[in-house]
C-alpha cells in the first residue's frame, strides 16, 4: 500500500469538503459545544449553587465531561465518511476512481484519513479550549489547574483515535448499504450506543474512567476496530462496490 496514493484520495476529499458547509458544521459544532458549553455550565452552576458544588466532587464531574470528547470523536466522522462515500455513490464518481491504478486499500485508507484528520484536529482543538476554559472556572475552587493531566492525556491520545477509527470503519460499512447521506447518518447514530453505555456505566460506578479504565476500554474498542476493519475492507472491494452496493 502506498501512503502517498491514499493521501491523494484524502486531499481530493479535503478539496470537496472545503466547499461543503454541512461538513464544516458537522466538524465544528461538537468541539464548540464541548469547549464552550461545559466550562460555561461549571461557571453557572458554581455561581448558582454557592458552594453546593464541592471541590471534592469536581474531579469526577470533570472526568465525566471529558468523556464527551470521546463521544464527539465518534460523532464527527459519521457526517464526513457518510458524505465521502455515499456522496461518491450519488455522484457515481467511484467507478472512474476504481479504474485507476489505486488499490482498494489505498482508496479506503484515503477515505479514512479524510474523515480521521479533520476529526482529530477539531477534537484536539476543542479539547485544548475545554481544558483552558475548565481550568479558568475551577482554579478558584480546586486551587490548581485540573487539566492537563495524565488521565485526560491517555483519553485524548489513545481512546479518541480508537473511537474515531471505529466510527470511520462503521461508516464505511453503513455507506455500502444505503443510497443517501441522510440514511447513512441515521444508521450511523447507532455508533453512540457503546459510548453512551460506557458513559452511563462510569456514572453508576460500574467502570472507572481512570487511566487503567480508559486503557481497558481502548483495548476492547481496538478489538472491535479490528473486526470492523475486516468487515469494511470486505465491503470496500471493486466488484462489491460496482455490483452489490445499493
Partner 1 sequence: MIGLIETENLTKKFGDLVAVDDVTLRVNDGEVFGFLGPNGAGKTTTVRMLCCLISKTSGNARVSGYDIADKDDSLKIRKIIGLVPDNVGLTEHLTAYDNLDIYGKIYDCSDSQRKESIKRFLDMLGLWDKRNVLAGTFSKGMKQKLAIARALIHDPEVLFMDEPTANLDPESAKTVREFILELKKEKKTIFLNTHNLDEAQKICDKIAILNTKLRAMGTPDYLEQAVKGRKTVITLEQTNNKILNAISKLSLKNLEHQNHTLSFDVADPDSENWKVVEAVVLAGGHVTTVDVVGSTLEDVYLKLVRESA
CA dihedral for 234, 173, 221, 5, sign (positive or negative):
positive
Of the pair 110, 133, the CB lying nearest partner 1 is at 110
Could you tell me which stretch among 8-16, 29-37, 113-121, 196-204 binds partner 1 (CB under 8 A)?
A: 8-16
Among 60, 64, 103, 233, binds partner 1 (CB under 8 A): 103
Size of site (CB under 8 A) for partner 1: 26
Helix 58-91 vs helix 104-142: crossing angle, to nearest 10: 160
User: Cα torsion at 32, 37, 39, 45 (round to 10°)?
Assistant: 180
Could you tell me which stretch among 60-68, 72-80, 94-102, 135-143 binds partner 1 (CB under 8 A)?
A: 94-102
Told to check if 21 binds partner 1 by CB under 8 A, we report: no
Instruction: Show the beta-strand stretches assigned E in 9-81.
Output: none
Among 45, 189, 219, 242, binds partner 1 (CB under 8 A): 242
CB of 167 to partner 1, least distance (A): 23
Closest-CA residue to 93 (of 241, 193, 243, 244)? 241
Of the pair 71, 97, the CB lying nearest partner 1 is at 97
Told to check if 102 binds partner 1 by CB under 8 A, we report: yes
From CA 106, how far away is CA 4, in angstroms rounded?
A: 9
Closest-CA residue to 164 (of 71, 45, 233)? 71
Residues sharing a CB contact under 8 Å with residue 85, sequence separation 6 or more, in sequence order: 111, 171, 172, 175, 176, 184
Told to check if 95 binds partner 1 by CB under 8 A, we report: yes
Could you tell me which stretch among 113-121, 151-159, 190-198, 235-243 binds partner 1 (CB under 8 A)?
A: 235-243
Told to check if 143 binds partner 1 by CB under 8 A, we report: no
Could you tell me which stretch among 45-53, 88-96, 111-119, 189-197 binds partner 1 (CB under 8 A)?
A: 88-96
**φ and ψ of 179, to 5 deg:** -110, -10
> Which single residue is written with the C-alpha cell 453508576?
204
Interface positions with partner 1 (CB under 8 A) = 5, 8, 11-12, 15-16, 19-20, 88, 91-103, 238-239, 242-243
Amino acid at each position: 500500500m502506498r501512503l502517498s496514493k491514499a493521501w491523494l484520495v484524502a486531499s481530493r476529499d479535503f478539496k470537496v469538503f472545503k466547499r461543503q458547509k454541512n461538513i464544516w458544521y458537522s466538524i465544528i459544532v461538537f468541539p464548540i459545544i464541548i469547549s464552550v458549553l461545559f466550562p460555561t455550565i461549571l461557571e453557572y452552576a458554581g455561581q448558582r449553587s454557592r458552594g453546593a458544588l464541592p471541590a471534592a466532587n469536581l474531579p469526577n464531574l470533570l472526568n465525566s465531561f471529558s468523556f464527551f470528547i470521546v463521544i464527539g470523536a465518534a460523532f464527527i466522522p459519521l457526517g464526513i465518511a457518510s458524505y465521502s462515500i455515499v456522496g461518491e455513490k450519488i455522484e457515481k464518481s467511484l467507478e472512474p476512481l476504481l479504474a485507476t491504478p489505486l488499490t482498494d486499500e489505498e482508496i479506503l485508507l484515503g477515505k479514512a484519513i479524510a474523515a480521521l484528520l479533520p476529526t482529530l484536529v477539531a477534537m484536539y482543538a476543542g479539547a485544548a479550549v475545554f481544558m483552558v476554559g475548565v481550568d479558568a472556572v475551577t482554579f478558584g475552587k480546586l486551587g490548581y489547574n485540573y487539566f492537563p493531566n495524565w488521565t485526560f492525556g491517555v483519553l485524548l491520545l489513545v481512546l479518541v483515535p480508537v473511537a474515531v477509527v471505529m466510527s470511520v470503519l462503521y461508516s464505511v460499512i453503513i455507506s455500502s448499504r444505503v443510497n443517501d447521506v441522510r440514511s447513512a447518518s441515521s444508521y450511523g447514530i447507532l455508533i453512540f450506543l457503546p459510548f453512551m453505555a460506557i458513559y452511563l456505566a462510569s456514572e453508576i460506578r460500574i467502570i472507572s474512567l481512570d487511566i487503567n479504565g480508559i486503557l481497558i476500554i481502548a483495548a476492547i474498542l481496538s478489538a472491535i476496530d479490528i473486526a470492523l476493519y475486516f468487515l469494511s475492507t470486505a465491503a470496500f472491494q471493486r466488484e462489491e462496490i460496482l455490483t452489490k452496493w445499493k
